[in-house]
Amino acid sequence: MVAQNIHSWCRKQAPQVGLSRSSPNSTKIHQMAPRGRTNLASLAERLRLTREALALSQAELCRRSGIAPQAWNNYETARKRISVDNAIKLRAATGIPLDWVYCADMRSVPLEIATKLQALYSVMQKQGRLAS
């Protein structure tokens, strides 16, 4: 049932991300964010946008997840790549899947967060602020 709702939502959102409703790709939620963007700047951008989509400050996210604030700041500013251990802590605290963190694959991101992420990406795309 949940997967069916996600696919239905994706079909409705397809025109907003440049896909036709009948496109075989229209049910793939990961089309909303560029896939395969695994460089450090893109990963940092995803982490920052994810935190913003969760409506959390860095301090609050760190408190909830148990990640050291300086470490999180280093991740968001592309000084360091998030460790697997800390990505697992993020997953446990927020439900954000490692596929999203490391591979920009949105398919298993919770729908409410995916919707907010898509909106943030749209704004950044219009402003020309997406990392390459």
Q: Does a structural domain hold residue 12?
A: no
Q: Does a structural domain hold residue 100?
A: yes
Q: Does a structural domain hold residue 99?
A: yes
Distance between the two ends of the chain, CA-based, in angstroms?
36
Q: Does a structural domain hold residue 102?
A: yes
- Look at the chain and report how many structural domains it folds into: 1
For residue 55, give the CATH number of its domain. Answer: 1.10.260.40
- Cα–Cα–Cα angle for 42, 85, 2, nearest 5°? 70
Model-wide pTM > 0.85: no
Q: Does a structural domain hold residue 22?
A: no
Mind listing the pLDDT tens digit for each residue in 49-108? 999 999 999 999 999 999 999 999 999 999 999 999 999 999 999 999 999 999 988 889
- Mean residue pLDDT across the chain: 79
The domain of 52 spans 30-127
